[in-house]
Amino acid sequence: MNKRIDIPAHIELCLNHVDSLPLTDPGIVPGIPGSFYILEEKDRVDLTKLVEKIDLISEKELMTWTEDEKAYYSRILQRADRLLKQSLPTDATGSVLERVAKEIEKQEMDLSL
């Protein structure tokens, strides 16, 4: 599959492993059941830029993509959008996504040994 969109590696890895991202305790927001993803402001900015980049792809360009490419980037867009809508920002600086990506890479390396 061609790389049609330049996505930072740590973001792409996390979007393909959303179950590895940290969550709040259920019910942390009164009146709203369930958990939220925990992201830092840098993550939210990066995800917003990615969503905007994908939204700008023209219909004409999409016609040149394979079905696999369309499905893959559609899934990436859906997951990025979900993280933005179902997350609570932290006051910390840095990137939750970068830290989680490093952990995922380490786990994948351990499995390949």
99 domain residue, yes or no: yes
Percent of the chain at pLDDT exceeding 70 = 96
112 domain residue, yes or no: no
1 domain residue, yes or no: no
* Strand segments (E) across the chain: 37-40, 87-90
The structure tokens 């999409």 sit at 62
Taking residue 107's Cβ as centre, other Cβ atoms within 10 Å add up to 12
Percent of the chain at pLDDT exceeding 90 = 56
Residue ranges making up the domain that contains 100: 9-107
Q: For the whole model, what pTM was predicted? A: 0.84
* Residue 50 near residue 7, CB atoms below 8 Å: yes
2 domain residue, yes or no: no
> What is the per-residue pLDDT for 33?
86
Domain total of the chain = 1
For residues 16 and 12, give the distance between their C-alpha atoms in angstroms, rounded to a whole number: 6
> What is the per-residue pLDDT for 95?
83
> What is the per-residue pLDDT for 93?
64
